Structure 1
Amino acid sequence: MPLTPEVLTANSQVVARLGGLDISFTPDEEPWFTVDGIESPRQIGSDGSGGTFVLLPSQNVLYASSEGRAGIIAATFEAFIQLVVARPYWLDVLKFSAGGDLAEMRRAADALEATLDDEDEVNEAREQIRKALVLPESDDPVDALYEAVAASDAIVRATDGSPFTTLFNRFSIDNNPMLRNAAA
């Protein structure tokens, strides 16, 4: 049986563990953006920074940030959960992607992994979520994220009609002394 939001949210322990990885499965009450060609985007959750996750009719998972950035981040809901479990700092990987450079994203992921707060707690959450959902590890979560965002053709608009920009940001870990040192 494929992993769906309904299957996942039926497991309160997994939902709590994912909450520790900054994912909530309580969607926003009021829509604050639109997706071209989709009548009523199905918001499935949010993160602590005010961003929203949307399950598209194609089964892709789209992320819309509160800062006006958006794009598809996973090909399926299961791939989305694999991404969050493997790389809970996935949004920072995009922030430090140097405009969408895969090699830079890999550097960022390695540096971010090295600087994890409560590494033991995160690893325990990863293990428990995978076990409870019988979720295989993603072969290459950074590549999957890169491919999804690079191929994203969803047009997300703010309520005033202005389009959101890509999730790839221009920063590199070299712009952040802590990450630069962690990568050295």
Structure 2
Amino acid sequence: MPLTPEVLTAQGEVVAWLESLDVSFAPDEELWFSIDGIEIPRQIGSDASGGAFVLLPSQHVLYVSSEGRAGIIAESFEAFIQLVVARPYWLDILKFSAGGDLQQMRRAADALEATIENEEDVNEAREEIRGRLGLPEADDPVGALYEAVAASDAIVRATDGSPFTTLFNRFSIDNNPMLRNAAA
């Protein structure tokens, strides 16, 4: 059976573990954005920074940040969960992508992973979620994230009609001493 939001939310323990990785399946009461060509977006969840996860009719998962950035981050709901489990800091990978450079994203992922490698709660959450869902590990979560964001064609707009920008940000880990040292 394919993994869907309904299948996942029926498993309370998995939902709790995902919340520890900053994904909540309690959508906002009122949408604060619109998506061109979609009358009523299906928000399936949010994160602690106020961003929203939306399941598109194509089954792609779109992320809308509270800071005016948006883009497709996964080709399916299952790929989204695999991404969150494999790389819970996926948004930081995009922040340090140097404008969408895959090699910089891989460097950022390695550095970010080094900063959490001894955090038992993250590793326990990963094991529990994968085990309870029978979820295979993602082959190349950073590559899949890059491909999804690079191919993103969803146009998201603020309530005033202004379009959101890409999720790729201009920073690299070289701009952050902690991450630069973790990568060394």
- Normalising TM by the smaller chain, what interval? over 0.9
Size of the aligned set, in residue pairs, is: 184
Gaps of 5+ in 2: none
SS in 2 for 1:136: coil
Q: CA deviation at 1:51?
A: 0.1
Show the counterpart of 1:143.
143
Gaps of 5+ in 1: none
Q: CA deviation at 1:47?
A: 0.2
- 1:119 has 2:153 as partner: no
Show the counterpart of 1:96.
96
Show the counterpart of 1:105.
105
Show the counterpart of 1:131.
131
* TM-score normalised by structure 2 residue count: 0.99
Q: How does 1:80-91 map to 2 (within 5 A)?
A: 80-91=80-91
- 1:173 has 2:173 as partner: yes
Show the counterpart of 2:37.
37
Percent identity between the two aligned chains:
83
Deviations 1:56-78 (A, max 9, x none): 00000000000000000000000
- 1:57 has 2:57 as partner: yes
- Displaced runs of 4+ in structure 1, greater than 6 A? none
Q: Distance in 2 between matches of 1:149 and 1:98?
A: 14
Deviations 1:127-146 (A, max 9, x none): 11001001000000000000
SS in 1 for 2:116: coil
Q: CA deviation at 1:116?
A: 1.4
Show the counterpart of 1:77.
77
Q: CA deviation at 1:172?
A: 0.3
Task: State the Cα RMSD in Å.
Answer: 0.8
Q: Distance in 2 between matches of 1:160 and 1:133?
A: 40
* TM-score normalised by structure 1 residue count: 0.99
Q: Distance in 2 between matches of 1:134 and 1:146?
A: 25
| Amino acid of the structure 2 residue aligned with 1:137 | E
